[in-house]
Chain A
Amino acid sequence: MSALGGVQSLGARSIAFVRDLGRFSVFSLRLGNAARRPPYRWRRLVREIYDTGVLSLVIVCISGLAVGMVLGLQGHNTLARFGATGSLGAVVGLSLIRELGPVLTSLLVAGRAGSAMAAEIASMVVTEQLDGLRMMSVDPLDFVVAPKAQAMLISMPLLSTLFVLFGIFGGYVVGVVVLGGDPGSYMSTLTDAVVFRDDVLGGFLKAGVFGLLVGLVATYRGYTALPTSTGVSAAATSTVVIASVATLIVDYFITALWGY
């Protein structure tokens, strides 16, 4: 009996999941359409980019620095076993540029700006602000939602770049200043090892994909929130969970399929 109940609830959950995925796809297509068609709301977009950036700037920089310092320490200890501490710059730089920069930035931004974005849209649903726009024959997807999703898409690669730069600096501080490595070889192994097209551009694109992902999840969760106060908080928390897990899963596929 309980086994049957378990199967039933598993089935119900799978159906709900697939249905949600379908709705998410329809939402994404409609949002893409709204964003593609004029009027282009540049001023709203710039403002959203500014808001997203301001929310995330400090945590991204601090986290980048901290991660870079840890990489410096760990990398130094590991490389010391092979007598290769000179290549610390390459190790720190490549890990950050290819993997840690985009992924950790995405997790941080999902937790900070993504949840705020979902909560803001959800509270606009609760207070009938989106219905108010509809009554003025203004499409809320076009006016409110699209600029937010686009802002996420644009700011993620920029924030990820910042994360990487601070990380490389953090690795330098630990590897060179604290542990007394050679400053010249830190930078030269870094620049020698990094291939612009594969590593830098790849990491940048990866961050862009994550930005799109976080932006879509946050706006979808906000837009479809239940019109209650628990609906607002549920939109915010589920955004963090879904966007973070999706980031990690998509990261695997990007790496496996395209090698970035």
Chain B
Amino acid sequence: MDAAPALAKPIEVEAQGLHYARGGRVIMHDLSCRFPAGRISVVVGASGCGKTTLLRMIACLNRPHAGRILIDGTEDVAHLSDGEVHAFRRRVGMLFQGGALLDSMTVFDNVALPLREHSGFPESRIRDEVHRVFEAVGLANVDELLPGQLSGGMVKRAGLARALVERPDLLLCDEPFSGLDPPTIRRIEELLLFVNQNLGGTMIITSHHNETTMRIADHVVMMVDRAAVSGRPRELLAGGDARVAEFFADVADSVPGAAP
């Protein structure tokens, strides 16, 4: 994404006192955490602890029952009007766990969709923009394919391409590494680091691959007991919280300064 890479204006996200219950079960209770601007934050935690729900709240797809989600310290996305939600989402890209590509449209049309809807660019410009993100995420010769014809790794790349095509200030990725083989995981990792360095937006990623988390995270938010603990990865592991140590037991050896 070299030519005129309009740098993102990274967003800082801060959740304060979130409460959320579903089907009579409390999933979040007074959960607070911060996602620093321009950095890669990784949200971890046991499956079913509410990682996806947290991402969806930041994206205004779910609303917390109490609490605030502040953008750059002021605007509260948990209580926006419909019109404001539209405007906010124009600054946000989201990669869903399953890709969420429209399966009746080609991969090209999927990625071109946000541009066709909003940019007013002529078709030739749209083609250039789409091919540029395809190149950035490492996709080639997929224009005419349908999402059903892609492999798991390619679906994630295509989903990422669609999330990036409007150059978001905030990128949300739900389990970008799940269901992928180790080499593909590595390549997606590199891709996310590349995107973060070259576009400069804020990234919030959920993952249960601890090794990956240790490699890419500037900031880790761990969801435990319906709330969250967070910090730089090493500080968090060195912090002596038994729940954190247990969760990261498999990578404790490889992180200097984090004695088990």
Is there a chain B Cβ closer than 8 Å to A230's Cβ? no
Is there a chain B Cβ closer than 8 Å to A132's Cβ? yes
- Whether A131 pairs with B100 at a CB distance below 8 angstroms is yes
Residues on the B chain within 8 Å of A127, using CB: 98, 100, 103
Is there a chain A Cβ closer than 8 Å to B15's Cβ? no
- A108-152 interface (Cβ within 8 A of B): 124, 127-129, 131-138
- Whether A128 pairs with B98 at a CB distance below 8 angstroms is yes
Residues on the B chain within 8 Å of A132, using CB: 94, 96, 100-102, 162
Please encode chain B, from 96 to 111, with 1 for each CB lying within 8 Å of some chain A CB and 0 for all others: 1110111100000000
- Whether B86 pairs with A129 at a CB distance below 8 angstroms is no
Count, chain B residues at interface, CB 8 A: 23
- Whether A128 pairs with B89 at a CB distance below 8 angstroms is no
Please encode chain A, from 162 to 176, with 1 for each CB lying within 8 Å of some chain B CB and 0 for all others: 000000000000000
CA distance A128 to B93 in the complex (A): 14
Residues on the B chain within 8 Å of A124, using CB: 102
Residues on the A chain within 8 Å of B100, using CB: 127-129, 131-132
Residues on the A chain within 8 Å of B163, using CB: 135
- Whether A135 pairs with B98 at a CB distance below 8 angstroms is no
CA distance A127 to B97 in the complex (A): 9
Are A137 and B117 CB-contacts (below 8 A) given A129-B103, A131-B61?
Answer: yes
Residues on the A chain within 8 Å of B86, using CB: 137
Are A137 and B96 CB-contacts (below 8 A) given A129-B101, A129-B103, A131-B61?
Answer: no
Partner of A134, one of B89, B101, B113, B166: B89
Give the distance to chain A from B100, nearest Cβ to Cβ, in Å: 3
- Whether B89 pairs with A135 at a CB distance below 8 angstroms is yes
CA distance A124 to B96 in the complex (A): 13
- Whether B96 pairs with A136 at a CB distance below 8 angstroms is no
Query: Which residue of chain A has its CB nearest to the CB of B166?
Result: A136
Residues on the B chain within 8 Å of A128, using CB: 96-98, 100
Residues on the B chain within 8 Å of A129, using CB: 100-103
- Whether B94 pairs with A137 at a CB distance below 8 angstroms is no
Query: Which residue of chain A has its CB nearest to the CB of B87?
Result: A137
- B58-78 interface (Cβ within 8 A of A): 59, 61
- A191-241 interface (Cβ within 8 A of B): none
Residues on the A chain within 8 Å of B117, using CB: 136-138
- Whether A135 pairs with B93 at a CB distance below 8 angstroms is yes
Are A136 and B98 CB-contacts (below 8 A) given A129-B103, A131-B61?
Answer: no
Residues on the A chain within 8 Å of B234, using CB: none
Residues on the A chain within 8 Å of B94, using CB: 132, 135
- Whether A134 pairs with B61 at a CB distance below 8 angstroms is yes
Are A136 and B101 CB-contacts (below 8 A) given A128-B96, A131-B61?
Answer: no
Give the distance to chain A from B27, nearest Cβ to Cβ, in Å: 16
Query: Which residue of chain B has its CB nearest to the CB of A144?
Result: B102
Is there a chain A Cβ closer than 8 Å to B152's Cβ? no
Is there a chain A Cβ closer than 8 Å to B118's Cβ? yes
Residues on the B chain within 8 Å of A135, using CB: 59, 61, 89, 92-94, 163
Residues on the B chain within 8 Å of A133, using CB: 102
CA distance A85 to B21 in the complex (A): 71
Task: Report which B residues bind A (CB closer than 8 A).
Answer: 56, 59, 61, 86, 89-90, 92-94, 96-98, 100-103, 113-114, 117-118, 162-163, 166
13 contacts between A and B (CB under 8 A): A124-B102, A128-B96, A129-B101, A131-B61, A131-B100, A132-B94, A132-B96, A134-B61, A134-B89, A136-B117, A136-B166, A137-B86, A137-B117
Task: Report which A residues bind B (CB closer than 8 A).
Answer: 124, 127-129, 131-138
Closest 4 A/B residue pairs (Cβ) = A132-B100, A128-B100, A136-B114, A135-B94
Other than the known A131-B100, A135-B93, what 19 A-B pairs have Cβ atoms closer than 8 Å?
A124-B102, A127-B98, A127-B100, A128-B97, A131-B61, A132-B94, A132-B100, A132-B102, A132-B162, A134-B61, A135-B59, A135-B92, A135-B94, A136-B89, A136-B117, A136-B166, A137-B89, A137-B114, A137-B118
